[in-house]
Amino acid sequence: MFCPHKNSYLQLVCAMNPRVINKAVDQAMEKSEFDPHCDQPAAQRPTSMQPSLYAPHVDITRARMGFGRVGLRIINRELHSEDDLVQLQAIHTVLDQVQISESALFLIDLHVVYRIIDLMEHRNPIIREKICLILTHLATYYQGRKQIMSRAIIIDNLLWLILRDRKEIRFVAATTLKTLARDRCSCEIIMKHEKIVEDLLKVVKNEHSGIVLIHLQTLTCFGEWDPARLLKANAFQIMLTLFTDRDTKIISAAMDCMTQLCKDDIGKILADEYDITFFLRPYLMSTSVEVIISAINLMAYTTLTTRSKWRAKECMRLPKRLVDLCHTPNKPVLQLGAMQVLMNLCDMPDIRNHIKMNMDKNVKAIKIRDHEDWDGTTETSSYGLETGHNYRTMSIEQVETIKSDFGDNALAVNVHSYLKRLHELKARLIFAIHKKSYRH
pLDDT tens digits for range 226-248 = 889 999 999 999 999 999 888 88
The number of beta carbons lying within 10 Å of the beta carbon of residue 406 is 6
Of the candidate ranges 7-21, 104-118, 125-139, the one whose mean pLDDT is the lowest: 7-21
Classify burial at 372, counting beta carbons within 10 Å of its beta carbon; exposed 0-12, middle 13-18, buried 19 or more: exposed
Q: Read off the pLDDT band of 386 (50, 70, 90).
A: very low
Query: pLDDT-derived band of residue 47, with 50, 70 and 90 as boundaries?
Result: very low
Task: Output the DSSP codes for 260-273.
Answer: HHTTSHHHHHHHHH
CA dist., res. 63 & res. 42, Å (int): 8
pLDDT at 16: 60
9, β-bridge pairs:
2
**Domain residue extents for the chain:** 316-383+399-440
* Predicted confidence band of residue 288 (pLDDT cuts 50, 70, 90): confident
User: What's the whole-number average pLDDT of the chain?
Assistant: 79
Q: Are 13 and 94 contacting, i.e. CB atoms less than 8 angstroms apart?
A: no
**CB-based contacts of 144, cutoff 8 Å, min separation 6:** 104, 108, 113, 137, 138
**Please, is 145 exposed, middle or buried when counting C-beta atoms within 10 Å of its C-beta (0-12, 13-18, 19+)?**
buried
pLDDT digits (tens, 9 = 90+) for 312-343: 777 778 888 888 888 888 788 888 889 999 98
230: Cα separation from own chain's centroid: 20
- How far apart CA 6 and CA 8 sit, in angstroms, is 5
How sure is the predictor about 376, in pLDDT bands with cuts at 50, 70 and 90? low
Helix axes 235-242, 196-205, angle to 10 degrees: 20
How far apart, in whole angstroms, are the C-alpha atoms of residue 244 and residue 60?
Answer: 51
- Whether the CB-CB separation of 386 and 300 falls below 8 Å is answered with no
Quick one: pLDDT at residue 136? 92
Decide if pLDDT at 62 tops 60.
no
Res. 425: pLDDT tops 50: yes
In this predicted structure, what is the pLDDT of residue 326? 86
183 pLDDT more than 80: yes
Whole-number pLDDT of residue 151: 87
Mean pLDDT, residues 78-95: 86
* Of the candidate ranges 68-72, 147-151, 307-311, the one whose mean pLDDT is the lowest: 68-72
Question: Which residues neighbour 130 within 8 Å (Cβ) at sequence distance 6 or greater?
Answer: 91, 92, 95
pLDDT band at 67 (very low <50, low <70, confident <90, very high): low
**In sequence order, what DSSP letters do the residues of 267-309 get, joined into one string?**
HHHHHHHTTHHHHTGGGGG-S-HHHHHHHHHHHHHHTSSHHHH
What is the pLDDT, as a whole number, of residue 275?
87
The burial of 343, by beta-carbon neighbours within 10 Å (0-12 exposed, 13-18 middle, 19 or more buried), is given as: middle
Counting residues of the chain whose pLDDT is more than 70, the rounded percentage is 76
pLDDT confidence band for 53 (50 / 70 / 90): very low
